[in-house]
Structure 1
């Protein structure tokens, strides 16, 4: 199954200010999910404990998942101003409801968090995952993939696999916001002939929205609403022990990694695969510890461990070391500011010794901030600080369950009833304001 191809060229534009776009054909069977090989080993080790549907979904990439469940889909490639080739997935309409093409459907753009991909919004399956629910609710759904993840690991000139030249990986979420999100938004609006869209960003997906609209405030007019699912920006109240322990060493970690020819984090799954298949299978004395570790990582009381192969089939999906280092700088210096290179580079790039903070008051998009009280990655107190700094906060909304946390936004078995239904109501509310 392939998509219709449409190639549109932009002539006469300054390449420094604009980007090239290209839509490519993609076959369903051409690719497997980021960690499909890992799932194969997990299945053989656990001797078919999980249903074949879960294991099949774990191996399929996003187009494969959409095709399997009978949803219309398109694969689009967007080339950014600085040459990164990004893959975007589209669900133009529903399967069971609102299932006819309509060029005037309101648009929702979904952006994943750190180390994730567009699969975040689909792994819970039809009837449960946000991407499917929005399509059934009558929205034209677009799902982005940040540079460096499994789907967007290409560049016009740079090689992501080069050990000698790490330039492909010398980006943080600053570039993702400034270049990638701008390219996605411009492409979607040009393609659909519409003027605005809704933006839903989880964690880093929220960070990149804030980066774009503070650095390029002209983009504010292109959004109907910003639905921030625990957007990561302020860390004044961070109490995550691992984050606090690593943040002081952010510069050393990145420098060391690049000197070793490593620019990517979780691009190579060999150790995790080896450990999981040898020590986490049923019957191993470490099996209870593995289950406990996942519970600790997710901190979710609604995390279905039967779904573990499916989640691990799609995440982690890769990211740059610098993305992590940039968050470390935010924690270390207690400031939401641009990436801190070094004195000389800062002077060359920013014209000052230290990087400037993002001016959140320039963000005038109606902002809806959503949070859980048990979120350890993004403390709810910091989201209240963020909401006060934004230029147009409509409201800050707590998910009622007191134990709702960072991973429940994408992996909770009760995400639909606890949050997604409410989120869709808020998106409809924003629609009525336009």
Structure 2
């Protein structure tokens, strides 16, 4: 694999093709490239994981010493993603910049195990114990720690929250376990919202029937981290997925196989940027937790098997999450062609949430799951409506 990667990079150099200027750039570098102010903050959870947050404290036109109040807003990424999802487009298109220029103090979280949050007070990512978590722990530990940190730094009483995909899952889980956090969130916006996934399509759905085998193989081979490519592979992707190179068609096809096809909304220019930042890695358990839910049709805690479930939950079966505890105002944005937040599952979620104040189905019938953060027209199809909803609260 390393030899093949080296040959691809050598070919790129011989052809004189340089990658996109933002390919292989980290979130703070992407933000700074467009001239926005950027800050990096570290948060330690109760169980010792060190999370990296990225902040755009104000818009590009506002003076740095401005004293005008700016309400904090937290953006939380999807499965296998990072804070980069919200800045990988031009400032007139990407959500983080639009919010900053609209008067918000923008914070972007990174949960345990992704590119930016691979540190712990005592554990190393080389240890099995580091990776023994799923999105359940992200909801119980990571999100509360991030919210408390943001409120402490800004001295605000509450914040706005925008979650995408898994960013919504961990929000529902947090409110089940720590309902007092309803008082710390003014309004929640869920894009591609995920709780139930029984109607999901694509590779994840097909893999769900083999979830026990997948867990067993991962343990047998000692693989506890899932899909983190590393620096060399990211460099290869930065070249191979460039629209000027014939292999970019392969990148597009792989992407469409995973999330569904919407060719007209694919921002081909930014494809190398997308695929050198995503996937950002997570634990095997985070993925298998979703596979368990696809198989069971329930929104529930991690299933460790009957024996361990009895020890952890005092029950043979994992307890279900109670969505009625999410009393904060919720606005949902979904799409008909979303393979991971399928319309039937979103409708079940909507019916069980007690305070849904708005639900919009994206006008483009081909809009896919990743289009919520990557689509060329996400600003018009989604974000302008998000800004209107936020302005009400």
Structure-1-length-normalised TM-score: 0.83
> Residue 150 of structure 2: SS of its match in structure 1?
helix
Partner of 1:372: 335
Partner of 1:10: none
Partner of 2:130: 168
Select 2:85's aligned residue among 98, 117, 120: 120
- The answer to whether the 8 A contact 1:247-1:331 is kept is yes
Q: Distance in 2 between matches of 1:273 and 1:121?
A: 19
Larger mean CA deviation between 300-309 and 185-194 belongs to 300-309
Partner of 1:403: 366
Partner of 2:307: 344
The structure-2 alpha-carbon separation of the partners of 1:96 and 1:286, relative to structure 1 and needing over 3 Å to count, comes to closer
Partner of 1:334: 297
Larger mean CA deviation between 315-324 and 256-265 belongs to 256-265
Aligned 1:70-149 pairs, distance under 5 A: 70-97=35-62, 101-102=66-67, 104-149=69-114
The structure-2 alpha-carbon separation of the partners of 1:352 and 1:102, relative to structure 1 and needing over 3 Å to count, comes to farther
Q: Distance in 2 between matches of 1:98 and 1:234?
A: 44
Q: Distance in 2 between matches of 1:363 and 1:411?
A: 28
The structure-2 alpha-carbon separation of the partners of 1:236 and 1:304, relative to structure 1 and needing over 3 Å to count, comes to same
2:224 is equivalent to residue 224 of structure 1:
no
Larger mean CA deviation between 72-81 and 292-301 belongs to 292-301
Larger mean CA deviation between 270-279 and 70-79 belongs to 270-279
Q: Distance in 2 between matches of 1:271 and 1:193?
A: 41
Q: After the TM superposition, list the runs of 4 or more consecutive aligned residues in structure 1 that deviate by more than 4 angstroms.
A: 97-100, 269-290
List alignment gaps of at least 5 residues for structure 2: none
List alignment gaps of at least 5 residues for structure 1: 1-36
Q: CA deviation at 1:415?
A: 1.1
2:25 is equivalent to residue 60 of structure 1:
yes
Partner of 1:264: 225
Partner of 1:13: none
> Residue 22 of structure 2: SS of its match in structure 1?
helix
The structure-2 alpha-carbon separation of the partners of 1:338 and 1:43, relative to structure 1 and needing over 3 Å to count, comes to farther
- The answer to whether the 8 A contact 2:242-2:272 is kept is no
Q: Distance in 1 between matches of 2:131 and 2:194?
A: 21
> Residue 327 of structure 1: SS of its match in structure 2?
helix
Select 2:271's aligned residue among 277, 287, 308: 308
> Residue 387 of structure 1: SS of its match in structure 2?
helix
Q: CA deviation at 1:292?
A: 3.1
Q: Distance in 2 between matches of 1:386 and 1:262?
A: 33
The structure-2 alpha-carbon separation of the partners of 1:256 and 1:56, relative to structure 1 and needing over 3 Å to count, comes to same
Q: CA deviation at 1:207?
A: 0.4
Partner of 1:253: 214
Q: Distance in 2 between matches of 1:342 and 1:259?
A: 17
> Residue 205 of structure 2: SS of its match in structure 1?
helix
Q: Distance in 2 between matches of 1:425 and 1:386?
A: 23
- The answer to whether the 8 A contact 1:266-1:318 is kept is yes
Q: CA deviation at 1:47?
A: 3.4
The structure-2 alpha-carbon separation of the partners of 1:335 and 1:48, relative to structure 1 and needing over 3 Å to count, comes to farther
The structure-2 alpha-carbon separation of the partners of 1:392 and 1:192, relative to structure 1 and needing over 3 Å to count, comes to same
Task: Show CA shifts across 1:258-312 (max 9, x none).
Answer: 2212111112358966996998789998664444333444422210222211111
The structure-2 alpha-carbon separation of the partners of 1:274 and 1:134, relative to structure 1 and needing over 3 Å to count, comes to closer
Task: Show CA shifts across 1:52-97 (max 9, x none).
Answer: 6xx2211221111222222112111000000000000111110125
> Residue 318 of structure 1: SS of its match in structure 2?
strand
Select 1:427's aligned residue among 379, 390, 393: 390
The structure-2 alpha-carbon separation of the partners of 1:194 and 1:281, relative to structure 1 and needing over 3 Å to count, comes to closer
- The answer to whether the 8 A contact 2:339-2:369 is kept is yes
Question: Which protein has greater RCO, CA pairs closer than 8 Å, 6+ apart?
Answer: 2
> Residue 57 of structure 1: SS of its match in structure 2?
coil
Aligned 1:225-240 pairs, distance under 5 A: 225-238=187-200, 240=201
Q: Distance in 1 between matches of 2:64 and 2:208?
A: 48
Larger mean CA deviation between 292-301 and 392-401 belongs to 292-301
CA-based RMSD: 2.7
- The answer to whether the 8 A contact 1:378-1:406 is kept is yes
Q: Distance in 2 between matches of 1:283 and 1:184?
A: 40
